Structures are given as C-alpha cells and as structure tokens.
C-alpha cells in the first residue's frame, strides 16, 4: 500500500497490513463507497477498514468470519470498541480514508494505469 504505513488512534500507533484476500479488499471498498451519505454506515465501514487492516480488529475482539463476512456488522463491533475507549468519530474517519482510498486504487485501477499495463490500441489482428 502506498502512503501511510501506520495509523494513530487511542494514543497508540498501529501498523497497516492490508488483507491479502482480494475478496475482502473488494468488500471493504464496496461497503466504504456504498456508505457515502449515511454517517452511521460510514463510521461502521471506516471502522471495518481499520479493524481489518491493522491490529485494532483483533484488539477489539471483532471476528470477520463470525460477522458472516458482513463488513458493516464487523465494523460495528470495531466501532463500538473504539468509541468505548474514547476514539472520536472524526479520527476514525480520518485514519481510515487514506487506507480505503489506497485499497480502492488497487482493486479498481484507473484507466491510465490499465493502458500502461496492456496495449489495447495495437494493430488489429486479421482473423
């Protein structure tokens, strides 16, 4: 992941480690994007990003499998734990945003990045 390599919450620093499973990264991006405009869902999605991409999820006792791979349910468990320990919603959102943006860029590359990897404008093959 480009950019930040750690987050700071609750007076501590936590290393960022993006989940290796593509499906989990994609689920995070979809949930984060779908939550736009709904503060409650945004906070849950942001908390899921923090929980699945740092040791915060383990510390919170949240379990993605037990949450039945439901990003918002998992995020709700992490969010509740963070808030009980004094984390402010704005800090949760601020810390999660660059991670979510980085994952989104990896999951959904931009057109110019795709063009660099593949030449779709080469000569046509006669068939």
Give residue-wise pLDDT tens across range 16-61: 999 999 999 999 999 999 999 999 999 999 999 999 999 999 999 9
Q: Quick one: pLDDT band at residue 109, thresholds 50, 70, 90?
A: confident
Indicate the range of 7-21, 76-90, 97-111 predicted with least confidence: 97-111
Structure tokens at 103: 């994952």
Beta-carbon count within 10 A of 57 CB: 22
Q: To which H or E segment does residue 95 belong?
A: helix 89-107
CA distances to 84, 97, 114, 119, 126 from 123, rounded to whole Å, are: 61, 41, 18, 10, 9
Cα separation of 50 and 103, whole Å?
12
Give residue-wise pLDDT tens across range 50-61: 999 999 999 999
- pLDDT more than 70, % of the chain: 83
Q: Longest Cα pair distance anywhere in the chain, in angstroms?
A: 66
Domain boundary assignment for the chain? 6-108
CA distances to 27, 44, 67, 103 from 70, rounded to whole Å, are: 9, 11, 6, 18
Residue 101 DSSP symbol: H
Structure tokens at 126: 């006669």
């Amino acid at each position: 992941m480009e950019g930040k390599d750690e987050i700071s919450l609750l007076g501590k620093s936590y290393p960022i480690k993006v989940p290796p499973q593509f499906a989990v990264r994609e689920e995070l991006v979809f949930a984060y994007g779908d939550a736009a405009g709904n503060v409650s869902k945004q906070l849950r999605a942001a908390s899921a990003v923090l929980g699945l991409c740092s040791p915060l999820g383990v510390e919170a006792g949240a379990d993605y499998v037990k949450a039945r791979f439901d990003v918002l349910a998992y995020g709700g468990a992490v969010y509740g734990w963070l808030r009980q320990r004094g984390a402010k919603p704005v800090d949760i959102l601020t810390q999660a945003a660059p991670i979510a943006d980085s994952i989104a860029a990896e999951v959904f590359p931009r057109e110019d990045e795709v063009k660099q990897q593949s030449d779709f404008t080469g000569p046509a093959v006669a068939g």
